[in-house]
Structure 1
Amino acid sequence: MTIIRFNDALRKAASALATLNLPADPRPRLVRDVFGRLRFALDCPADAYPAEALAALKEAQVALGAFASSDEVLTHDSFSFPDKVFADPDWHMTLVQLGHDEDGISLGEAAVMLLDRQITGQDWLRPRDEAQTANRPHRIVFFGLKGGVGRSTALCMTAWGLARQGKCVLLLDFDLESPGLSGLVLPPEKVAEFGVVDWLIEDAVGQSESVLPRMVAASPLGESTIGAIRVAAAIGQDETDYLAKLARAYADVPGDRGPQRLGQRLLRLVEALEAQESPDVTLIDSRAGLHDLAAVAITSIADTALLFASDGTQSWSGYRQLFSHWQQRPEIAQRVRERLAIVRALTPKSNREIGIQRFQQRAYELFSETLYDEIPISPDVVPANDLASPFHPGEADESAPHAPILIDWDEQFQEFDPMLRSEDGGASQARIEATFGALIKFAYKCVQEGAE
């Protein structure tokens, strides 16, 4: 007997739905549990669906082997409140590649409605409501697949550059498991009493409002500018129990309309801090890697997500995994892709132009093969009026998501103290602008366009 693996199960189930002679209405759906096991689901009572078709679905479900959670098909009879289950916002039209035949010819793809129950990572598929972007500051998230690419330093210099142009900048450290932003922009004695992790803990017991006024501090980095830099650090002043708090920070908490997930809670925090501080722009240092905190920051909070990358296999393969995850769910990809901007971090000075050209080509290939208008939307499963306008910028389009924002490598910024004055060994204004000028200019443009 052939062993069915995780990758095979969804493909096999989607193939069954594409080939079985089933009623068009209701169209069978798929539920995948936290172990990856699948069940077909019908948005109707069992006795309202033809018995022969129901038997065929059961047989196809059993054929999934260990990745079939049961031989019973889910129907309204399976739930106390079926309307709530079938109206869950986490149902997504998902494109499944059906593999190849014996001659290596592609079998195409099938579109299935999938409810993917995951322990983590659900927030990658929960983009924010576009209606929530008006009358608030522009939010820019700094994200990287790994550390060591100068992301936090770039954030600090962007904040400084914007403050020099008169902007009030709010910095948030969402890298809770590797906090360090406050160390770059705040002396230890200037750190606020409470941090982001304190807000998450106190919010769970209904005390978040009393924390807000005591979790933001002014950075000396903004003192020489005509603007201001305000910082909400991950860790508060004199913290001695951080790990115990961190272990509880990601929990869902009770709400008036059911449990509030981490993403909803962090969005409330951002909104509350923006209401309190009235910044012109909010800069967020995201958790590195494919982590829930990063998912929340990029999909649910960001107006612009800066994706830091080096020209290495780890960067390209990691971003391909993320983009492919969105590509399988076209309505998510369409809502996220134009918010992305790739940053070429630590650009080498040797063979610079050749390196930049190669990086841009690879970035263009990545976006073209995953998020640009090659996203295959089948007219037979998506209403014509829902089809997005083609989105495929040219390779040379400098405003496209794949067009790299360049940060040059400079040894002075490898062990950099942004609060150190140039006369004391710190970087000069000219050197900062030479290294981070393109990023600062891009961020300023985002802020100005967001204010229009």
Structure 2
Amino acid sequence: MMATIRFHDALRQAAQALAHLELPAEPPVRVVRDLYGRLRFAVDSAQADYPVQAREQLQKAQAALGPYATSDELLFRESFSYPDKFFYQQNWLQTIVPMGSNEDGEPLPATEVLLLDRTVTGHDWLQPAQTNGRHAHRVVFFGLKGGVGRSTALCMVAWGLARQGKRVLLVDFDLESPGLSGLILPTERVAEYGVMDWLVEDAVGQGDTVLQGMVSASPLGETTQGAVRVAAAMGSQESDYLAKLARAYADVPSAHGPQRLGERLRRMVEALEVREQPDVVLIDSRAGLHDLAAAAITGLADTTLLFATDSAQTWQGYRQLFGHWQKRLKVVRKVRESLAIVRALTPKSDREGGVKRFQRKAYELFAETLYDAIPIGVVESEADYFHPIETDEAAPHFPILVDWDERFQEFDPGLRPEHGGASEAQVDATFGALIEWVSKRIQGDDA
């Protein structure tokens, strides 16, 4: 009885076939994976120019994928009206496919395939953007789940930077749970339009018409030498938010083909930066493995702060994300040095021991997924490898600490100390290390 092929088996079986079949070296055989995970081989050649024997081997290998084969028909140039559009699009990614283990349990060498992955969502996790000229340093605040103090930390970092004289722009990408404006903007201060309005208006060519009404000043900056400006998710006159949300993530047509969410949000942030001229942009990301987070982290961030607690859920979630990147080396090399992990809600009991355990787990996570594997006998300093040591305080895995303090669990950042709000000393005691770290990171741009 033939073994059942599952989703995770199909690509491995296809890659294994390509590695062992006697096929021409050029052009290489590519793999297309459709919305259901079904696979098809594609060759950038006319069918008549490709050897008959190689064609027959590929058809047999494709058919062997069972329910994860679309058919035994291969894709050649004549399969498309405009073959160059198909074969030369940017969405082809060199992808590492793990081959599993041998009978003795020893890992087999991974192989690579050129993969075009058709997905409903998640495109932006694998599409790091190219920087378009100089811009204010963009810091994304991200967490796998809510309740870790991410938004409060963002507000306190904004205040800390404004105290240094910085003009800070906050942008709320948490469209499905908008709340940043509620933290630092009184109702009467919320701007007329929000990020959601820009997305739906941009889809019909009117995004520029709402830009001037998207940003308002937070009272948080009034006691500082700088300013805190906020682009909220929701505008002040909102009455149809859910109807807009149902349309916000759609691709929109453009002269160069469909424009995805990540590209659209990048245009919006760039337009806001032109209007606001901030020194730094802080983006409150949607929590979880969501397209909004992907757009922020891979499409916009100069720095991404990964909020984490020492829980199995945290480590498992980040390992899934890093493992997804790990299969695409070009993505890993563009993303990893922008990351920094934040140990959120650091307990005061056994603080030193807890921090060391967290640091060890963070190092193991990065070392096993995003850092380069250094071959035995090679001295890292003598080769081009990125693999910081565990105690390297400048490394992505080295935790920035935010202490647990119950006064910030139901905290109103807009309250001044005389009205029950936190003092500068109290904020610095809890968030000072994070504020200082972000400040130095920004200063590094000007060095």
TM-score where L is the length of structure 2: 0.97
Q: 5+ unaligned residues in a row in structure 1: which ranges?
A: 377-387
CA drift at 1:375: 8.7
Match of 1:437 among 420, 432, 444: 432
Counterpart residue number, 1:72: 73
Distance in 1, Cα, partners of 2:192 & 2:106:
62
Any idea what the Cα deviations from partners look like across 1:233-268, whole Å, max 9, x if unmatched?
A: 000003111101111111111112111111111000
Letter in 1 for 2:25: A
One-letter identity of the residue aligned with 1:12: Q
- 1:418 paired residue number: 413
Q: How does 1:171-190 map to 2 (within 5 A)?
A: 171-190=170-189
Q: Deviations over 1:147-169 (max 9, x none)?
A: 00000000000000000000000
Structure 2 unaligned segments of length 5 or more: list them: 376-382
| One-letter amino acid of the structure 1 residue matched with residue 51 of structure 2 | P
Moved more, 400-409 or 417-426: 417-426
Counterpart Cα distance in 2 of 1:375 and 1:109: 16
1:396 aligns with 2:391: yes
Mapping for residues 156-175 of structure 1, pairs under 5 Å: 156-175=155-174
Given that 1:137 and 1:451 are in contact with CA atoms closer than 8 Å, whether structure 2 keeps it comes out as: no
> What is the one-letter code of the residue matched to 1:95?
I
Give CA deviations for 1:120-141 in whole Å, capped at 9, x if unaligned.
00100000114x2x42100000
Name 2:100's counterpart in structure 1.
Answer: 99
The separation in 1 between residues aligned to 2:313 and 2:111, in whole angstroms, is: 30
Return the alpha-carbon distance in structure 2 between the equivalents of residues 297 and 71 of structure 1. Answer: 39
Contact 1:137 1:450 in 2 (8 A): no
Deviations 1:247-301 (A, max 9, x none): 1111111112111111111000000000000000000000000000000000010
Identity in percent? 66
Q: Does 1:407 align with 2:402?
A: yes
Work out whether 1:297 is the aligned partner of 2:292: no
CA distance in 2, matches of 1:210, 1:329: 39
Question: Structure 1 pair 63/293, CA: closer, same or farther in 2 (3 Å)?
Answer: same
* Correspondences of 1:344-355 after superposition (within 5 Å): 344-355=343-354
Distance 2:390 2:293 in 1: 27
Give the SS at the match of 2:3.
coil
Q: Which amino acid aligns with 1:114?
A: L
Q: Deviations over 1:414-451 (max 9, x none)?
A: 00001111122211110100100111011111211123
Letter of the aligned partner of 2:20 in structure 1?
T
User: Secondary structure, in 3 states, of the residue corresponding to 1:211?
Assistant: helix
Q: Kindly tell me: are residues 272 and 445 of structure 1, through their superposed partners in 2, closer, same or farther at Cα, counting changes over 3 Å?
A: same
C-alpha distance in 1 between matches for 2:343 and 2:404:
10
Question: Do 1:330 and 1:375's aligned partners in 2 also have CA atoms closer than 8 Å?
Answer: no
Q: Which residue of 2 aligns with 1:268?
A: 267
Partner Cα distance (2:106, 2:387) in 1: 27
State how far apart, in whole Å, the 1-side matches of 2:53 and 2:158 are. 64
Query: Is the 1:343–1:404 Cα contact (8 Å) retained in structure 2?
Result: yes
Name the CA distance, whole Å, in 1 between partners of 2:17 and 2:246. 42
Match for 2:212: what amino acid? P
Between the aligned partners of 1:305 and 1:117, the Cα distance in structure 2 is 27
Compared CA separation, residues 433 and 338, structure 1 to 2 (3 A)? same
Partner of 2:378: none
Give the TM-score taking structure 1 as reference length: 0.96
Is the 2:374–2:385 contact (alpha carbons within 8 Å) kept by the matching residues of 1? Answer: no
CA distance in 2, matches of 1:79, 1:451: 49
**Secondary structure, counterpart of 1:445 in structure 2:** helix
> Displacement, 1:389?
2.6
Displacement after TM superposition at 1:103 (Å): 2.5
Determine helix, strand or coil for the equivalent of 2:45: coil
Q: Distance in 2 between matches of 1:121 and 1:209?
A: 27
Using the alignment, how far apart are the partners of 1:184 and 1:274 within structure 2? 22
Q: Structure 2 CA distance, aligned partners of 1:156 and 1:93? A: 39
Alignment-mate amino acid for residue 401 of structure 2:
L
3-state secondary structure, aligned to 1:124: helix
The question of whether the paired residues in 1 share the 8 Å contact of 2:98 and 2:109 is answered with yes
CA distance in 1, matches of 2:371, 2:108: 22
Q: 1:329 is matched with which residue?
A: 328
Q: Which residue of 2 aligns with 1:357?
A: 356
